Structure 1
Amino acid sequence: MSKVKIGVIGCGSIAKHRHLPEYANNKNVEIVAVCDIVEERAQETADKYNATAYTSYEELLANEDVEAVSVCTPNYLHAPVSIAALKAGKHVLCEKPMATSKEEAEEMIAAAKASNKKLMIAHNQRFVPSHQKARQLVASGELGKIYSFRTAFGHGGPEGWSVDGANSWFFKKEQAFIGAMGDLGVHKTDLLRYILGEEFVEVGAFVETSAKENADVDDTAVCVLKTESGIIGTLAASWSYVSKEDNATIIYAENAIVRLEDDPVNSVIVQYKNGEVVKYELGGIQTNESGGQTSSQVVDQFITSIVNDVEPPVSGEEGMKSLQVVLAALASNETKQITRI
């Protein structure tokens, strides 16, 4: 079987630490092209993976050999680059948040349909073993009625992670569109939709810039969310957690409390109402700190969907629903009212 020929657009940290190594480890993939507006960065990456370097994504997309691309650009370019790639007949794996508006997201979905190509959004938290276990526990009915939840995703900020450090696009509103809420919060809106198996219908939020002096985007956000069946909970997304990263989710249900990624050893702890406690060691979550990055599975799932011609597990529609919760949080913060989705 011939390998899927891949181009990676944007050679920053997410491409360097996740997309490129994961493509390189996938036996069904050949990395043929990479693109970055910083020529030196593009060339260095191309040399490492024996690919062709581009500084213009339009030129990369004109390369007939490229069958699929990862879009790893700053947020404001996710939609335009993805749409151009789909129109050029390439499958697209796009980083999150997929777009900066519902309209852009809809255009991406329409472009994928029109070209009959795959569009997948890189929401990796669904593939974390503890999160998959939690979804099973909820779906099985074992927990009984779900009452509430709290989830957080926070660390010290992108300056420690982004290739450009404190000068990163992450802090610039015209390129990032949204700060911690888009960088981290959208991971959790997607995760909660996945675990609970329900959509959110109402959002209230405070979205602030309190920790970063060089930022014109939010760095600390706290939201209250309500699902269609009335499950309520909080979501915190922050670049102001200065020591240890927090990536925990807790679900409060009729028969048990489930703690996810809340304990360094046991990634799932189920504390039953009757006093029984069940602990699962399921392997960790990907963090930006752990040097030996485990696979996020996003790339493998994307390639499988192309090779087997099946719908990707995180489709454009799924990405849009997770984005809409974030957009509703922004609207709530602006209007100081609860926003309906």
Structure 2
Amino acid sequence: MAKVKVGVIGCGSIAQNRHLPEYKMNENVELVAVCDVNEERVNSVAQQYGVNAYTNYEELLTSGTVDAVSVCTPNYLHALISIAALNAGIHVLCEKPMATSEEEAQAMIEAAKTNGKKLMIGHNQRFVSSHQKARQLIEDGEIGKVYCFRTAFGHGGPEQWSVDGKESWFFKKEEAFIGAMGDLGVHKSDLLRYLLGEEIVEVGAFVETNAKDFAAVDDNAVCILKTESGIIGTLAASWAYKGNEDNSTIIYGEKAILRLEEHPVYSLVVQYATGEVVNYELGKIQSNDEGGQSNSHVIEQFVHSIVTDEEPAVTGEEGLKSLAVILAALKSSQTKQFTCVHEEQPAEGILQHINS
């Protein structure tokens, strides 16, 4: 079977530490090209992987050399480049947040459908072993009715690991659109939807910039979320954690409490109401603190969907629903009111608008 020919658009940290090495070690992939507007950077990465270098994504997409691309650019380019790739008959793995609006996200979904190509969003928290085990326990009724939850994702900020440090696009409003909530919060809105098996319908939030005076986007956010069945909880996203990274989630149920990625050794701790405690050692969650490379399982899932012609593990529709929670949080913070989450928007005319 012919290998999937892949190009990576955007050669920043996420591409260098996740996408490129994971494509390289995938036996079904032939890495053929990289693209970045920074000529020095793209040439260096291209030389490292022995692939072709492009500074213009349109040239790559029209080259006829790739079957699929990863879009690892600043957020404001996600929809533009993804739609262009899909329209060129190329499968797309897009980093999160998938877009800067529901309209953009819907246009991406429509482009994938129209062209019969795969669109997957890089929400890797679904593939963490402890999260998958917790979802299974909840589905099996092991903890009974779920009452509430709390989840947090925080670290010292992108300046610690971004290739451009404090000058990174992550801190520029016009390029990032959203800060810690788009970088970290959207991962947790996706995780909660995955774990609980239901949608978040209402959000109240404080989305602030109070830790980094050089940032034009939010660096601290705390949200209150409510699901369709009435489960309530909190989500915190922060670029202001000076100690170790926090990537933990706790689910409080009728029969037990699930503690995820909170213990230094046990990635899942189940505390039953009977007093029994079960510890699961399922491997550590991915962390920016690692400083190295590891397997996020995102690339292997994306490639698998292409090779088997199956639906991607995280579809555009799923990405949109998780994005909608974050957009509702922004609106809530601005209006100082609880906000309903709307995940569906008409796409009529949007493709033409974005392509223009």
Q: Give the superposition deviation at 1:292.
A: 4.4
Corresponding residue for 2:66? 66
Corresponding residue for 1:165? 165
- Per-residue CA deviations over 1:141-164 (Å, capped at 9, x if unaligned) read 111000000000000000001000
- Determine the C-alpha separation between the residues in 2 that align with 1:6 and 1:233: 40
Corresponding residue for 1:106? 106
Alignment of 1:12-161 (within 5 A): 12-161=12-161
Instruction: Give 3-state SS (helix, strand or coil) of 1:170's partner.
Output: helix
- Determine the C-alpha separation between the residues in 2 that align with 1:172 and 1:282: 37
Q: Are the equivalent residues in 1 in contact too, given 2:302–2:312 (CA < 8 A)?
A: yes
Corresponding residue for 2:271? 271
- Determine the C-alpha separation between the residues in 1 that align with 2:152 and 2:161: 19
Q: Which amino acid aligns with 1:297?
A: H
Q: Are the equivalent residues in 1 in contact too, given 2:18–2:294 (CA < 8 A)?
A: no
Q: Give the superposition deviation at 1:303.
A: 0.2
Q: Which amino acid aligns with 1:16?
A: Q
- Per-residue CA deviations over 1:19-63 (Å, capped at 9, x if unaligned) read 000000100001111000000111111111111100000001011
1:313 aligns with 2:309: no
Corresponding residue for 1:190? 190
Q: Give the superposition deviation at 1:16.
A: 0.2
Q: Are the equivalent residues in 2 in contact too, given 1:208–1:219 (CA < 8 A)?
A: yes
Corresponding residue for 1:338? 338
Corresponding residue for 2:232? 232
Q: Are the equivalent residues in 2 in contact too, given 1:269–1:280 (CA < 8 A)?
A: yes
- Determine the C-alpha separation between the residues in 2 that align with 1:185 and 1:263: 21
Q: Are the equivalent residues in 2 in contact too, given 1:204–1:333 (CA < 8 A)?
A: yes
Q: Which amino acid aligns with 1:63?
A: S
Q: Percent identity?
A: 72
Corresponding residue for 2:353? none
Q: Give the superposition deviation at 1:291.
A: 3.9
Corresponding residue for 2:245? 245
Q: Are the equivalent residues in 1 in contact too, given 2:329–2:339 (CA < 8 A)?
A: yes
Corresponding residue for 1:254? 254
- Determine the C-alpha separation between the residues in 2 that align with 1:28 and 1:302: 11
**Per the alignment, do residues 136 and 117 of structure 1 end up closer, same or farther by CA in structure 2, a change over 3 Å counting?**
same
Structure 1: 5+ residue stretches without partners:
none
1:175 aligns with 2:163: no
Instruction: Give 3-state SS (helix, strand or coil) of 1:279's partner.
Output: strand
User: Structure 1 length as normaliser, TM-score?
Assistant: 0.99
Q: Which amino acid aligns with 1:331?
A: K
Q: Are the equivalent residues in 2 in contact too, given 1:286–1:293 (CA < 8 A)?
A: no
- Determine the C-alpha separation between the residues in 2 that align with 1:161 and 1:204: 30
Q: Are the equivalent residues in 2 in contact too, given 1:13–1:163 (CA < 8 A)?
A: yes
Q: Give the superposition deviation at 1:293.
A: 2.9
- Per-residue CA deviations over 1:50-109 (Å, capped at 9, x if unaligned) read 111000000010111210000000000000000000001000000000000000000000
Q: Which amino acid aligns with 2:17?
A: H
Q: Give the superposition deviation at 1:124.
A: 0.2
Instruction: Give 3-state SS (helix, strand or coil) of 2:289's partner.
Output: coil
Corresponding residue for 2:212? 212
- Determine the C-alpha separation between the residues in 1 that align with 2:78 and 2:36: 14
Q: Are the equivalent residues in 1 in contact too, given 2:17–2:292 (CA < 8 A)?
A: no
Instruction: Give 3-state SS (helix, strand or coil) of 2:149's partner.
Output: strand
- Determine the C-alpha separation between the residues in 2 that align with 1:255 and 1:300: 35
Instruction: Give 3-state SS (helix, strand or coil) of 2:288's partner.
Output: coil
- Determine the C-alpha separation between the residues in 2 that align with 1:132 and 1:268: 10
- Determine the C-alpha separation between the residues in 1 that align with 2:196 and 2:29: 34
- Determine the C-alpha separation between the residues in 2 that align with 1:45 and 1:217: 29
Structure 2: 5+ residue stretches without partners:
342-356
Q: CA RMSD in A?
A: 0.6
- Determine the C-alpha separation between the residues in 2 that align with 1:215 and 1:23: 32
Instruction: Give 3-state SS (helix, strand or coil) of 1:120's partner.
Output: strand
Corresponding residue for 1:293? 293
- Per-residue CA deviations over 1:191-229 (Å, capped at 9, x if unaligned) read 000000000010000000010110110000000000000
**Per the alignment, do residues 212 and 291 of structure 1 end up closer, same or farther by CA in structure 2, a change over 3 Å counting?**
closer
Instruction: Give 3-state SS (helix, strand or coil) of 1:331's partner.
Output: helix
- Determine the C-alpha separation between the residues in 2 that align with 1:96 and 1:127: 15
Instruction: Give 3-state SS (helix, strand or coil) of 2:2's partner.
Output: coil
Instruction: Give 3-state SS (helix, strand or coil) of 2:275's partner.
Output: coil
Q: Which amino acid aligns with 1:81?
A: I
